[in-house]
Structure 1
Amino acid sequence: MTGFEFIAKAFKASYTDIAKRLNMTPSAIADWASGRRPIPKDKLPLVSKLFRIDEEYFKKKELTEVEKIKIEINYLERLSKRDTEQIPDTYTDDEGNQHETYFWYNPHEGELRYKYEELAYEELVLRIKRILTHDFALDMEYQRTRNHFHVVKELTELLDQDDGTVGIMEFEDISKEEAQRRRNLADRVNSISRMLYFLNGGKLHAFGKIDEFDEELFKLLRKFKIIDTKLPKKLKELDDPFDHRL
């Protein structure tokens, strides 16, 4: 999906509507979005101004996950600015008297909060990839270890953030595509959380029911002597008695 196509989809803008605003034909806009034809240089500033997004995003054949999330945040922030309103309410003081008050309600707050969390995770993944790639050129073991320590530390801090809003998000009206996207991110975060838990001396049984991923990860960390936590008795019985690697 090209940058233009993703932006149009994120902003829920039809090619017909975009064409009217740019005095173009819908087929021309469709060609730009699909990448069949490049956006003419004289039209690129107009497209950028229409969405208020940098021109570089529209020229890309594929956006990174971080860029996609930033565009979605851009859109949600605009909706928030437009749709946030004061809602009347009442409260009762200590003496039993009722008072009228107002509170600000943003219908996009839950989704926007989730996108910021998703952005933090994806940016951290990118940083990990950059550090691991850079490590191939490092000769100093101390520098490599220090880099990795900071990554693990930030991962731990990120995964430890929980303000109790998960339950609220379950009641959001979101598309099946967005719901699946959130489940995928949750799976990735949970996988890293389990690894950090094991690294901190945690035992496999703490997760309750043992699934294949937990078992394989636990054994792999022990095999390479990353953790020294003993195998649970149940796993010892299932383990090959002639396999001395663990």
Structure 2
Amino acid sequence: MSEQSISINLVLGLLWTITHLAIGFLHLWSHLFYNLECYLISFGLLRKYHNLHLGGLKYLAIVVDSKEAKSTANINQLFCWLSTMGVKYVCFYDIEGVMKESFEHAMNSSRDRNEKEYFGIGANMKDLHCTKRAMVIDCLSGSDGKEGIAKAANLLCSAYFNGDSHGDGKREPAFTEADMASALKAVGFGGPEPDLLLMYGPARCHLGFPAWRLQYTEIIHMGPLKSMKYGAIVKALYNFSNKYQNYGK
């Protein structure tokens, strides 16, 4: 190789290294600033976060990795925080149904198939002594998504084959989004669409949460459940309350 080629490679390598260092530094600074802001919010030192206006948050979804969903103390703390913030309706989802099974055994009162009014999650959990308000919790698992779509598809197919269109003049089925939404509702798997979804876990995805309920949902990744912060939840709810969404037709 010529001296000129070697010099060019060295310069390009140096620029590449400097770029990566700059990006890494900005990422580290952003992470430190975010954590500092969360701690200041938790201690009530940032005035703008004192009053949350949650009128637009009618339904909140929480997605948690199933391994972390087994940490009952963290889940109890999370529900406690949400209750004190004034959240009224929460949909909790983990793909293996860890919390769904716990609620079915621990809660005596139910509002619907899996909807529970929360005042604590059983005597085996640590009492956190927080100020709790009435909060309805709907527990879902991965089976709700698969079972729901299968039952809805079966209903649509049954309606098609048993309808007036059978016989020689039978048309090809053309199911619309509205048809599927109506079928899901008819088989009991429709459910309200969350306004905001908070994801806890290593993956930046909804882990199989029923996709038909996420058309206009704001999705925020919150990091691991074990490192959850009160200030981070307040910040997420505050940012959501200050957003304006345009819904197309």
Give the TM-score, by structure 2 length: 0.26
Going by fraction, where is helix more abundant, 1 or 2?
A: 1
Give the TM-score, by structure 1 length: 0.26
Going by fraction, where is strand more abundant, 1 or 2?
A: 2
Kindly name which structure, 1 or 2, has the bigger radius of gyration based on alpha carbons. Answer: 1
Instruction: Report which structure shows greater RCO (CA 8 Å, sep ≥6).
Output: 2
